[in-house]
Amino acid sequence: MQTSVALLYVALVAAPGCSSLPTKGDSIRNTINSIVNIAQITLVHIKKLRTKLPVAPRIEFCAPSIEGLTSISHDLGLLDNELQNPLTELLSQIQADVSSLEGRVRSLAVTVDCPVRARPAGETGNSLFPDSHLHLTLTKVQRYLDKLLLNKDKLKVC
């Protein structure tokens, strides 16, 4: 009987310290880590997909600058829209990853009181060269995510 009372006492005394809610700082740090992890996983998906596609032409593309959460959210929204194009249906996993990234970045921006632009409107465009369009879209996403990972400190500023 005394043992169970002692265990109950320890559980009640220790529980508040063990079950405290995460602070806003912890939540922000966890969200940033999640964003970085999703970006890394998406790059792995892109590399894996590239092995299944015909050799891509040499595509020159300069990713937009990464200034902070507001611009990152907007740029990911544009990439998400481009990935939803019927010509890029082969990229559905990457589109899901980018959409998830955009949502997390937007949520983080709201959490830290950054201004958030309206989500960019989707455009459905037809390309005369679907294979080239596919490779260009894939290159845009890959270069942007590479740049995002190099500038992950920008996830802490508006």
**H or E element that contains 65:** none
What is the pLDDT, as a whole number, of residue 123?
Answer: 60
- Confirm whether 37 is domain-assigned: yes
Q: Which residue has the tokens 């600058």?
A: 65
CATH of the domain at 142: 1.20.1250.10
pTM across the whole model: 0.74
Measured at the CA of 80, the angle between CA 49 and CA 27, to 5 degrees, comes to 100
In a domain, 127, yes or no: yes
- With a CB cutoff of 8 Å and minimum separation 6, the contacts of 153 are none
Q: pLDDT by residue (tens digit) across 85-138?
A: 766 567 788 888 999 999 999 999 998 898 888 777 766 555 555 566 777 888
- Tokens 């929204």 locate to 77
Report yes or no on 13 lying in a domain.
no
Inform me whether the pLDDT recorded for 3 exceeds 60.
no
Which tens digits make up the pLDDT trace of 13-57? 555 555 566 687 788 888 888 999 999 999 998 888 878 776 656
Whether residue 78 is contained in a domain is answered as yes
| Count: domains in the chain | 1
Both tokens assigned to 71: 């611009």
Assess if residue 52 is contained within a domain. yes
Q: With respect to residue 148, please indicate whether it lies within any of the assigned structural domains.
A: yes
Hey, what are 18's tokens? 């063990």
* Alpha carbon distance 83, 91 (integer Å): 7
Q: Is residue 83 part of a domain?
A: yes
Residue 103's identity, in one-letter code, is: G
Query: To the nearest 5 percent, what fractions of the chain are helix, strand and coil?
Result: 70, 0, 30
Domain extent at residue 104: 22-156
One-letter-per-residue 3-state SS of 19-59: CCCCCHHHHHHHHHHHHHHHHHHHHHHHHHHHHHCCCCCCC
Residue 96 covered by a domain: yes
